[in-house]
Amino acid sequence: MKVATEKSFAYALNENARVVAALVVRSAVTRFGESRMGVVWMLLEPIAYIAIFILLHTSTDARIPFGDSALLFVLTGVFGFRMTRGIARKAERAIISNQPMLTYPLVRPLDTIFAAFLTEATLWLIICWLFMGGLSFTMDRAVIVYPADFLECLLAILYFALAFAVLNAMISGLFPRYSTFLNMLNMPLMLMSGIFFLPTQMPPGFQAILWWNPFVHCVEWFRTSTYLDYNPLLSKAYLLGLSTGMLAIALTMERIFRRKIINS
């Protein structure tokens, strides 16, 4: 009986892996089959943020908030926020994008989200590697001074992005207007995430508000791996605990409201 159960579990796991793999291929084809401009924009977006920041600082003769490189400061902020939000944003729309696929019994809403997450995470990690590697070559020094912390940071960012995406997808499936609300939050979240400023230099009252923004912790965690003496506004326990809580709530919602979410 135990052997039969193990075999059935292995078979189900194998079938699920095949479904996710097929959805990853579909997601990639959909992502780049219609237009290759999506890849170009993913490369141009960080460059645009950096160019605007440097232009503003040059015109106002302002100093860099921290360190000796404006490029490094902004790039760590951009990837800390944009990689996190970019992955989550694509993954949370996976159910809507794969609605016809949900008519098949083997395909579940979570499969579509996880497939989109894997596709976007792979793309953003490659782009991150290209930019950080290019900056290291340009500056002729290592920009990742704590490799272990950097790997830990990337894993935490991916974990939060997945949890955030699953929760948003579940809520959007039950309340379609929630997607519009999320889009309205994108700009305020970006401006309040410490991309262009140093959170610890803000007044204590403002720091207390910033602390509740999980994207601040993503940015600050990213920067702690690139600076030797960076003093972050960071709580690793908060980010990981929040991610776990969101994922637990989202998985519970998916289990209870799966049929309604599929038919939404």
For the stretch 196-223, pLDDT in tens is: 889 998 999 999 999 999 999 999 999 9
Q: Which residues contact 147 (CB under 8 A, 6 or more apart)?
A: 225
Could you state, in order of their start, the residue ranges of all structural domains in the chain?
2-263
For residue 16, count CB atoms less than 10 angstroms from its CB and return exposed for 0-12, middle for 13-18, buried for 19 or more: middle
Q: CA–CA separation, 156 vs 221, rounded Å?
A: 9
Predicted model pTM: 0.85
Q: Which residues contact 247 (CB under 8 A, 6 or more apart)?
A: 162, 163, 166, 167
* Coil/strand/helix, residue 141: coil
Token pair 């000796």 in the structure block, residue: 68
Phi and psi dihedrals of 203, rounded to 5?
A: -60, 150
What pLDDT shows up at residue 251?
Answer: 92
H helices of 79-201, in order, are 84-92, 94-97, 109-139, 147-174, 178-191
The mean pLDDT values, 10 residues at a time, for the chain of 264 residues are 52 68 70 61 66 61 70 84 89 80 74 87 86 83 88 95 94 86 86 87 92 94 90 93 96 86 73
Helix 84-92 / helix 147-174 crossing angle, nearest 10 deg: 30
What pLDDT shows up at residue 13?
Answer: 67
* Coil/strand/helix, residue 211: coil
Alpha carbons within 13 angstroms on the beta-carbon side of residue 176 total: 5
CA distances from 167 to 64, 139, 197 (A): 37, 40, 29
Q: Is 144:132 a contact under the CB 8 Å cutoff?
A: yes
Q: CA–CA separation, 72 vs 75, rounded Å?
A: 5
Q: How many C-beta atoms lie closer than 10 Å to residue 122's C-beta?
A: 13
